[in-house]
Structure 1
Amino acid sequence: MPLEDMANAALEMLANAPGARSDPEGTARAVEAALAAAPHDLDVRLGAYRFYFYTHRFAEAVPQAETILRIAAQRLNVAADWREVGPDDAEFTAAKTAPGLYLQALIALAYCYMRLGDFERGQPYLDKAFELDPTDRFAAIRLVRAAAAADEDD
């Protein structure tokens, strides 16, 4: 089956999923089937990330966000390793889809790791998001404040 057909079939699986609130197990099965059918499709990964995120399954959301970050890096033609990406490698402050997706994936990874209690692992993703976009158009500063509050509680 051609990749486009596989992606369409996977998206149809997600569209016909019963719903995360009404049937989380059924939706999880649909998400897993869609990922198996089209693992490299951005829309499928976004759907999977959102499902895991909104059902507070942050450990399962992490690999989805990592894949989204890799796909965005490919689209931007920047280094595969996010630690090697610099502010001049793409128009990160511009209101364009790929740079925005890249920044949102960094913030998503930071958030998921922080929700999992791993602030040390999440903070570098936030630092990179601020380095690439000092205007903070996705309001990642809220995560910094939450992390600082958690450090003060310790």
Structure 2
Amino acid sequence: MNNIWDDEWLKRRYYEGLLPEAAERHLHLAARSYADEVCAEDHLMDAIAIAPEHMVVYLGLYKFYFYKGRLREALATARICLQLSATELGIDRDWRKVMRRQAEFGNFDAPRARFYMFVLKAYGYLHLRLGYLATGRKIMDKLIDLDPTDKIQARVLLEVLLKKEEGEDE
């Protein structure tokens, strides 16, 4: 039986050759080293140093921080992901200035717009988790504005926020 961490596993390619092989290898090494937080983070930083223009390396770092409970660092990384996603989509890097007509935000068959929405949702969620409720609410309101049919399900997070605010008023 093969070890899932063998050389073949480390050589696999997921990103259709778009991500430099060395960067992708560091992402795999980060996964293999996940229990060793310092080592895993070093590999993620190496991947970013090799491919700073590729979203996937920042997404790996975001997930690492999020699952390690390092939410402030996850928030900073989500901000980078949001800006890269906006640039890729050709919209303003400031989420406050984004308008519904600029992309097909409610269309799940438009992968770049859908990805932007998921990143914005994560960014808003982290604000809420960290207690930045006013900003988190503005982000959720922006999501609902961009996607009035709420395919991204921002209303659920907004309802949780409203219940939390009501509880504080009592």
**1:6, 1:37 within 8 Å by CA — same for their partners in 2?**
no
SS of equivalent to 2:53: coil
Q: Cα RMSD between the aligned structures?
A: 1.9
**2:23, 2:48 within 8 Å by CA — same for their partners in 1?**
yes
Q: Does 1:111 align with 2:143?
A: no
d(CA) in 1 for partners of 2:142, 2:24:
31
Q: Does 1:78 align with 2:78?
A: no
Q: Does 1:30 align with 2:43?
A: yes
Counterpart among 64, 72, 76 of residue 63 in structure 1: 76
Partner of 1:92: 105
Partner of 1:43: 56
Q: TM-score, normalised by structure 2?
A: 0.79
Unaligned runs of 5+ in 1: none
d(CA) in 2 for partners of 1:148, 1:83:
21
Q: TM-score, normalised by structure 1?
A: 0.87
Unaligned runs of 5+ in 2: 1-16
AA in 1 matched with 2:131: G
Counterpart among 132, 140, 143 of residue 157 in structure 2: 143
AA in 2 matched with 1:121: T
Identity among equivalent pairs (%): 33
Label 1:5 to 1:145 Cα distance change in 2 as closer, same or farther (>3 A): closer
SS of equivalent to 1:16: helix
Q: Deviations over 1:110-151 (max 9, x none)?
A: 111111111112111111111100121122222112212221
AA in 1 matched with 2:144: F
Label 1:6 to 1:72 Cα distance change in 2 as closer, same or farther (>3 A): closer
d(CA) in 2 for partners of 1:25, 1:146:
34
Q: Deviations over 1:60-108 (max 9, x none)?
A: 1112211221222122211222211111111111121110111111111
Equivalenced residue count is 150
Label 1:94 to 1:5 Cα distance change in 2 as closer, same or farther (>3 A): closer
The structure that has the greater radius of gyration is 2
Partner of 1:53: 66
**2:19, 2:54 within 8 Å by CA — same for their partners in 1?**
no
Partner of 2:167: 153
